Structure 1
């Protein structure tokens, strides 16, 4: 709106300065010079006509022809000189013209008669009063032009605001759709509205949204298919390992340690494939719904206790709800609880509600992660003897980012690692 309003005001200010600073001044000087010339001519004729009766006839004839009223006061004297008007350039122009055109004392009274200016001029044998209509010295009041200029600007501004309001509404709708899409709340395609450029932006956004969704679906399908297909040879390998000790002359007790190591490797590979499938499901087509976070956290805590973990407490009030993908968010919290169970055994889950964000903290009493490794560790989970699959925190990070949130690794008061999840309301 400032882009529209500022040029209007600047243009009107320039018009006022140029019009009233140049054109009106020129017109005012010419009007003053014209009246001064007529008065000077009448005075010159009076000085050449000493007879009183002829003077009266001359003044009557001059009043009729010039639209000025002339009154001569014999043997009168001029009481004061100058002018009593201090309101603008018209008085200055008129006074200057009288000084230059008459060359004798005078007094200009702007308030003696309404809408009339009285000029008293000192003559050798009296005083000549000239009554001049005010309209002969002024084009019009300046406030009328100023009011017209600014009222037209206000009218144009209102019209521009009405048209621009529709454009801004379309841009805001596009911005809201982009924000929701970034938070993982896909509301579908938006209807293009507004000016051509705004409609083109909306169409481009719809195409981008469709391409992103298609890319994610294709990647998810490929990842899920590959992970599922890998389970078939692993199952055959497990079966072969189970049957291997009974074949041939090789003693079972000689092969038992090697077979057990291979079975352990196969179990690790199955866990890795399970994580890939879990990651693929997290990227699926689940729609956001209003989700009770405290109920979701309670379910995760119950599952962690059943798996052998120790849940020291679940903090946070009931009824905290946000739009979320409940299965994906539950999978993220379950991964964190499993990490806490494997690396520490004891955990605490907290829920905090802010004005614009929700924070969930999962703390454990494990060995923790050094501060200089926390940024890189989000690219993969802690792995080792406890059977980390390599994708736990990656899945959590991906799910939280898909909800428009953030994840941070902190020190836990329990002595281990604290994972802070921040989600928008």
Structure 2
């Protein structure tokens, strides 16, 4: 910024003096030139400071996002991975003394499930980091197609799940982070994983308003606890306010990187409604 201002001052002095030197009313023109320099200098400084402030705000937002993700990763290492490893070690002991154990749990299957969960957590953490590094790289994403693909994959994996889709348009394209379809799949999967009934019901709506478009996912599950919702909405975890997984944090990171917003509500008496809102393309 200082170099730009110095270059402007040098060019002004070098060119303006030679231009006004031969004009009549030399002193009056010099005074006017001085006032014009003050005005133009003020406008230049204002513009440069504004640009610097904008860049500082962007850096602060990236820093806050990084700190939030760091707290999530710390919680994962402290809770999820530690618990999974403890369970694996416990079931391994059951395998060693299988003849003496009267447990109804199949230790081999339990170990397989826990190990698969560790792989899933590792993949989600890796994607969370990838989302952060790729922020600003936007592509065209068809929300309608992303929802249709996510619903199809979910119904293939969980045959007892009923998903209804409502969309006012066949094609709804937005500029968003490349991982936006993954965030929709995470919302659907989250609704199934946390369901407390044999036949969970999920409703998906693809909508568009005057200034925004988005996807709303609602279910008939037990609802997201207030502590988890507060952590997601505030963007930071605390020992008393944190989420129980990586999926919703991944959704928020992708939505933030797409320039959108995430809203979560728990209608009475039960259920969860998650809305992803994105800027409507020009």
Q: TM-score, normalised by structure 1?
A: 0.42
Q: Determine which of 100, 106, 113 is the counterpart of 1:267.
A: 113
Q: How far 1:168 moved relative to its partner?
A: 3.2
Alpha-carbon deviations, 1:18-49, whole Å to 9, x = none? Answer: xxxxxxxxxxxxxxxxxxxxxxxxxxxxxxxx
Distance 1:235 1:374 in 2: 27
Distance 2:117 2:223 in 1: 23
Q: TM-score, normalised by structure 2?
A: 0.58
Distance 2:57 2:89 in 1: 48
State yes or no: 1:315 paired with 2:167.
yes
State yes or no: 1:164 paired with 2:14.
no
Equivalent residues of 2:91, 2:111 under 8 A apart: no
Alpha-carbon deviations, 1:28-77, whole Å to 9, x = none? Answer: xxxxxxxxxxxxxxxxxxxxxxxxxxxxxxxxxxxxxxxxxxxxxxxxxx
Which entry has the higher C-alpha Rg, 1 or 2? 1
Pair 1:390–1:168, CA change in 2 (3 A): same
Q: Secondary structure at the match of 1:341?
A: helix
**Aligned-residue CA RMSD in angstroms?**
4.9
Alpha-carbon deviations, 1:264-311, whole Å to 9, x = none? Answer: 376346425622540342122335222313333332222222222322
Q: How far 1:347 moved relative to its partner?
A: 1.4
State yes or no: 1:408 paired with 2:275.
no
What residue is the counterpart of 2:181 in the other structure? 330
Q: How far 1:419 moved relative to its partner?
A: 0.9
Q: Determine which of 188, 192, 195 is the counterpart of 1:341.
A: 192
Pair 1:154–1:311, CA change in 2 (3 A): farther
What residue is the counterpart of 1:361 in the other structure? 216
What residue is the counterpart of 2:101 in the other structure? 255
Q: Secondary structure at the match of 2:155?
A: helix
Distance 1:410 1:229 in 2: 31
Equivalent residues of 1:380, 1:394 under 8 A apart: no
Query: Larger relative CO (CA 8 A, sep 6+): 1 or 2?
Result: 2
Pair 1:260–1:299, CA change in 2 (3 A): same
Q: How far 1:224 moved relative to its partner?
A: 10
Q: Secondary structure at the match of 1:306?
A: helix
Q: Secondary structure at the match of 2:163?
A: strand
Alpha-carbon deviations, 1:251-273, whole Å to 9, x = none? Answer: 3xx52526536853763464256
What residue is the counterpart of 1:286 in the other structure? 134
Q: How far 1:423 moved relative to its partner?
A: 3.7
Distance 2:124 2:148 in 1: 21
